[in-house]
Chains A and B, each alone.
Chain A
Amino acid sequence: MAVEARTEQLAEPRPRRRRYRPSMSVPGLLGLPVAWLAVFFLVPIGIVAGYSVNLLSFGSVFGPASHGFTLQAWHDFLHSGVYLRLFWKSVKMSLLVSIAIVVLAYPLAYYLALSGTKRKYVLLLLLIAPFLTSYLLRVLAWKVILGDNGVLNSFFFWTGLRSPEHPFSQLLYSRFAVMLVLGYIWLPFVALPIFVSLESLDRGLLEAASDLGASRLTAFRKVTLPLSLPGVVAAFLFVFIPTIGEFVTPSLVGGANGYMYGNQIVDLFETGFPDWQTGSVLAIFLLGVVVLLTLVFSRFLQPRQVTAG
């Protein structure tokens, strides 16, 4: 009986391979998000790009409009040491923050994903708990902690490490303050993608490595790390891209020294005498760098093969 049934199953004609036809639901599903992206992302970028090459200008306000393609603002920007130095300063700050928190978040995500603890989702919830409060509030709270008479300095006064006349002034209104607060703000964003990539790891591979005589460290180096690398790269990009153009945190805790490239863009558009053309050049340059970085890193976003040896 069973054999007959199997024979019937085998005899059943194979369905003809159907030509791929895009379902009508595809435009329905993608239409709105694509339209949204086009209207609220691509068009504004196009407008900003137009300002950067003077196809659009503020001319109607400042005198006769001078619409005409020119790369003068780009030339000035690329030959201005000031803006490029500021960009490089922001890149360094952003890199430091991103690397530091990836390094900090990895063990955390590793523990949550692979320790086998039953409370991992509770712990994960705790990790993202700060998101229940306002971003601004979290940043401002650091002012209370880092100020000259703040929590940390008061502790140093109490221990005798510093006197009230000579507090650690570098704690607030400094690059350090900006990086510290950015790290604090973005840590959960880093931990989550790493956690997800570690969670989806095939545990059988680790067992196989162990069976083949690999030590835990070797298994981590040869199996876990390569397979979690897409999560690590994604996490890095999640932090690096937004922080390189960050302006809220530096304007609140950065002071004169923690001023970043994003602040410059905002200021060119919003303060003193608006210079939308230069501001647009700075913005498009930043966008270009981010796109380039994403393209470079995207190859690492594919899971890497695990090879023996």
Chain B
Amino acid sequence: MTEGGREVERRLSRQDLLKLAAAAGGAGMLAGAAPAGAALEWLTAESGRLQVLDWVGYGYDGGQSMFAAYNKRYPKNKAQITVMTNEANALSKFHAGLNFDLFRPYIGWVKFFAQSGLVQPWDPKLIPNLKHLNPYMVKAGQYQGKQYGIPNDWGFDQILYRTDKVKPKANSYSLLFDERYKGKIAWFDDIEMPEIAGLLHGYKDTWNQTDAQLKQTQDFLTQKKNLVRLIWSSETNMQEAFAAGDIWISYAWPADYAAMKAKKLPVVYMRPKEKPIAWVGMFMLLKDTPRPHLAHAYVDAWSSAKSGKWLEDNYFYGHANRLAHPSSSALSKALDLSNPKAVVPPFANLDRDIPRRAEYEKLWEEVKAS
């Protein structure tokens, strides 16, 4: 060990040594100086607070339990959370020169970001909880054999409706376009709406529609837009409108169903016959992060069964950790948790990369503007 190294070691407190022991896997620390040296190297090299770009509710605004273990283990490098409203917002932040260590886009963006050069693959060996994560979701986070995305929260895009007000003709996404409920329907402000329209039209690949299909989709959505009262981008706004009775039918996530049930509203979270679109949140590691090891530790904390159960019990989303089981049997059923393949065909349509994303986006913006 160099003189400098010994000097650093002398300055380590007992707390730091414990942290080192944990980082080096404990045994390594006891077995010899080399692993400890490696751990020491990254621990002393990675300084400052871990910069995380994540969605509302996943920071200190309620979601802190899911990374409490990380903060406890690295009190000098606690996570600092910046809120992103969507992937485009994250892109805008990167473009504006803001620096983060990791962020959470959703599954449809994994390929895009992997190709963008903005991110780097994770080292699976540094995430011990990875082995407990749903293998289908883990695979969905890979690009060219490398693990670019670590799956975490997941759920379905289904339809929430009031049973006392709405009588669907079929369990189908068509309820979002039902003329009988004009002025009581809410859509989601996202290009998932063209995807849903494509599923309804029976397109072979709704994520890669042809020009003719896109034109048909745009005409369909533009024509049906007059039925819609709210196009929501904030879940809170939608829940508020639903609870107030301003809307009866909405594109929704499992958490919305749970929230309306908690308000004692008579609601159903309908699984459409077209098979629901499933989404998975994917942690991605930014290319120029100065804190890669801390980022791995943070993601590992999020990936634990304890965090997973907390997420399921409190936010009513699914969690990729197969050892996490929610207290609510209704949620288990809604998420089909007994089925590890619940998010992939033939059970659901796992969201995916959209090669013509710009065209989809233009279409959707024009529908909203129409």
Contact = CB atoms under 8 A, between A and B. Distances in A.
Interface of A: 58, 60-62, 80, 82-83, 85-86, 143, 147-150, 169, 172-173, 251-252, 255-257, 259, 263-264, 267-275
A259 B229 CA distance: 11
A255 B229 contact: yes
Contact of B91 (A61, A147, A264): A61
B31 interface: no
Nearest to B228: A256
Contacts of B94: 61
Interface string B352-370: 0000011011101110111
Chain B: number of interface residues, binned into ranges? 35 or more
17 contacts: A61-B116, A61-B118, A80-B366, A82-B369, A85-B369, A85-B370, A147-B244, A255-B231, A256-B368, A259-B369, A264-B368, A264-B369, A270-B88, A271-B85, A271-B233, A272-B360, A273-B357
B88 A273 contact: yes
Nearest to A165: B165
Contacts of A267: 189, 365, 368
A82 B88 contact: no
Given A148-B244, A272-B190, A264 B365 contact: yes
B177 to A, nearest CB: 13
Contacts of B244: 143, 147-150
Contacts of A83: 369
B187 A268 contact: no
Given A257-B229, A272-B360, A274-B88, 6 more contacts: A58-B95, A61-B95, A82-B366, A251-B233, A264-B365, A273-B357
A108 B72 CA distance: 61
B88 A271 contact: yes
Contacts of B368: 256, 259, 263-264, 267
Contacts of B91: 58, 61, 274
Nearest to A251: B233
B361 to A, nearest CB: 4
A58 B93 CA distance: 12
Interface in B208-247: 225, 228-231, 233, 237, 240-241, 244-246
B89 interface: yes
Interface in B72-100: 85-86, 88-89, 91-92, 94-95
Interface string B178-198: 000001100101110000000
B293 to A, nearest CB: 26
Contact of B92 (A80, A149, A274): A274
A147 B229 CA distance: 12
A270 B88 CA distance: 6
Contact of A271 (B86, B118, B240): B86
A301 B184 CA distance: 46
Interface in B242-269: 244-246
Contacts of B231: 255-256, 259
Contacts of B229: 169, 173, 255-257
A272 B361 contact: yes
A93 to B, nearest CB: 14
A256 B225 contact: yes
Contacts of B364: 272
A272 B246 contact: no
Contacts of B183: 169
Contacts of B360: 272-273
Contacts of B225: 256
Contacts of B361: 272-273, 275
A246 B229 CA distance: 19
Given A62-B116, A149-B245, A259-B369, A271 B89 contact: yes
Nearest to A170: B183
A147 B228 contact: no
A252 B236 CA distance: 11
Contacts of B86: 270-272
Top 4 nearest A-B pairs (CB, nearest first) are A273-B361, A272-B361, A86-B369, A256-B228
Nearest to A172: B246
Contacts of A251: 233
B114 to A, nearest CB: 13
A255 B91 CA distance: 26
Name the residue in A86, A173, A256, A259 with the highest tally of chain B Cβ atoms < 10 Å from its Cβ: A256
B66 to A, nearest CB: 26
A257 B227 CA distance: 10
A251 B232 CA distance: 9
A268 B365 contact: yes
A273 B91 CA distance: 9
Nearest to B369: A86
B237 to A, nearest CB: 8
Contacts of A272: 86, 88, 190-191, 357, 360-361, 364-365
A179 to B, nearest CB: 17
A172 B360 CA distance: 29
A230 B228 CA distance: 42
B159 to A, nearest CB: 17
A173 B230 contact: yes
A169 B183 CA distance: 7
B187 A256 contact: yes
Contacts of A150: 244
Contacts of A275: 358, 361-362, 365
Given A264-B365, A267-B368, A256 B246 contact: no
Name the residue in B190, B244, B246 with the highest tally of chain A Cβ atoms < 10 Å from its Cβ: B246
Given A272-B361, A273-B357, A148 B92 contact: no
A295 B86 CA distance: 39
B246 A147 contact: yes
A58 B88 CA distance: 12
A39 B257 CA distance: 48
Contacts of B230: 173, 255-256
Contacts of B369: 82-83, 85-86, 259, 264
B166 to A, nearest CB: 13
Interface in B102-118: 116, 118
